[in-house]
Structure 1
Amino acid sequence: MLIGFAGLGRMGLPMATHLARAGHTVLGHDPGLGRAPEGVTLMPSAAALAEAQLTISMLPNGATTRDFVLTGLADTATDHLHVVMGTVGPALVRQLAADARVDVIDAPVSGSVSMAEAASITTMVGASPEQFERVRPVLAAMTAAQYHCGTAGSGSAAKLAVNAVLAALSQGVAEGLLLAEAGGLDLRSFYGVLRNSAAGAPYVGYKEEAFLAPDTAGVAAPVSLIRKDLALALDLARAHRLSLPVSETAFELLDAAVDAGLGQEDMARVLTALRLRVGSRSV
């Protein structure tokens, strides 16, 4: 299948590469990319992707996604299907599905860059049953699991709900580490206890180095990204008059981390933000 892929960043690049390895012909566009990744033909403009029968966007925010869908895909065939895989929120996806010349569905993903490289991420799909069956083989080349969540926008709602839990869990681990440290525990030893306790979710296990050795662990998901997703989740909550006190507190800490210059660091740096807060109070 001829597939257009807009957004070849940290997550999009390995995903597009997996599509090419699966035998698809992949046209890619990303102004920030200097050379084409394996198996992907770089196109000079987003509009050049419109010749594909299916396009995918993994773009950083709603504004760039809206522009690509409404402007870049203005000259496609009538049976063109576009898959929004970036996290932009359900309201925008539903607006694009209503306003765009092409069919629009969403399939945001859950997982880190290393999981994208291993094609072990999960995708949550908002589409009609027929659209889901059409796109599922393509998604299966990039992801380990594909969940049909409902109509367009439902995948984005599921992603925001997942990341609300993730942000709360990240803050919970950070607070637990501070408590353990205050109690005189060695944090490496305590983390083994935490990982094997009732609180030992998979996230706790694979984020150990990010929490305990952040300077060398690398960045899987930056603070700025999870902050953006949590802001969208809180927007959705407010639209439905929901009170999410844990998410609101987690967002305040992510905000503090960004203000401290940690926006491009891994989301586990909320522990650093908490330490800075403690330090400011002791002055």
Structure 2
Amino acid sequence: MLIGFAGLGRMGRPMATHLARAGHTVLAHDPGLDRVPDGLTAVAAAELAVADLSISMLPDGASTRELVVRGLADADRDHLHVVMGTVGPAVVRDLATTGPVAIVDAPVSGSVSMAEAAALTAMVGGTDEQFARIRPVLAAMTSAQFHTGPAGSGSAAKLAVNAVLATLSQGIAEGLLIAEAGGLDLPVFYEVLRASAAGAPYVGYKEEAFLAPDSAGVAAPISLIRKDLGLALDLAGDRFALPGAEAAYAVLNDATAAGLGDEDMAQVLAALRLRTTTKQEALS
């Protein structure tokens, strides 16, 4: 299949590469890159419209809207665009209603290493027919694909998942601080945590990020998690309260203000340590 792919960042690059390895012809667009990976063909945004199917893995709603409204304006009527970046359900539903092409959203859950291993989970919002059409394509990049409902529902599912991850990250960080205050060796405590009732899979694969952040690399930066959590809070609006998400968002704001926005989300631990230092200084 001829597939257009926009957005070759940390996640998009391996995802597009998997499509090419699966035998698809991939037209790739990313204005921030001088060249694209081997196996992909670099094109301008408007050239994505010649494909049967296009995918965007862009960081926000504004860039996604620009691509769809302007880049795909001349696409055929049967062209289908898959929004895989986390942009929020409102943007997806608006594009599905007013955009020049049919829209499906399929944001993914997982880290860069999972993208490289094609082990992501996709949450797909669209019709039954659209889901059937794109599922084989998604299977080249992901290990699980869930049909969550109509357009926009995939994005709502992604925000819900990331709200859990953000609060879970903060919970791990707070647990580490409590253990440290009690005189525990942190690697020993982490073994206890991983084997306890709180030992979700996320706890296990984030061990290095929490205990040895300098060597762990960045799986999901604080800036993106903060953006996603902000979208979740916007979705909640005045309709219902999200006290855990609000608390996690405040810590992510602190982390961003401290210059940690490009660091892995496990660095909420560093942000909480800074809070402690500031509190102690205020009391002294």
Aligned counterparts, 1:16-27, within 5 A: 16-27=16-27
Match of 1:57 in 2: 56
Query: What residue identity is the alignment partner of 1:82?
Result: H
Match of 1:203 in 2: 202
Query: What residue identity is the alignment partner of 1:222?
Result: P
- Alignment: residue pair count: 281
Match of 2:7 in 1: 7
Query: What residue identity is the alignment partner of 1:89?
Result: G
RMSD after superposition: 0.6
Match of 1:182 in 2: 181
Post-superposition offset of 1:80: 0.2
Match of 2:130 in 1: 131
Using the size of structure 1 for normalisation, the TM-score is: 0.98
Residues 232-267 of structure 1: CA distance to partner in whole angstroms, max 9, x if unpaired? 00000116x110000000000000000000000000
Match of 2:269 in 1: 271
Post-superposition offset of 1:38: 2.6
Post-superposition offset of 1:32: 1.4
In 1, distance between residues paired with 2:207 and 2:38? 32
Post-superposition offset of 1:215: 1.4
Match of 1:282 in 2: 280
Match of 2:112 in 1: 113
Match of 1:157 in 2: 156
Match of 1:236 in 2: 235
Match of 2:249 in 1: 251
In 1, distance between residues paired with 2:23 and 2:214? 38
In 1, distance between residues paired with 2:31 and 2:277? 41
Residues 49-75 of structure 1: CA distance to partner in whole angstroms, max 9, x if unpaired? 111010000001100000000110000
- 2:35 is equivalent to residue 35 of structure 1: yes
Match of 1:147 in 2: 146
Unmatched runs of 5 consecutive residues or more in structure 2: none
In 2, distance between residues paired with 1:196 and 1:140? 32
Residues 197-242 of structure 1: CA distance to partner in whole angstroms, max 9, x if unpaired? 1000011000001001111210000000000000000000116x11
Following TM superposition, the consecutive aligned residue runs of length 4 or more in structure 1 with deviations greater than 6 angstroms are none
Post-superposition offset of 1:33: 1.6
In 2, distance between residues paired with 1:215 and 1:276? 18
Using the size of structure 2 for normalisation, the TM-score is: 0.98
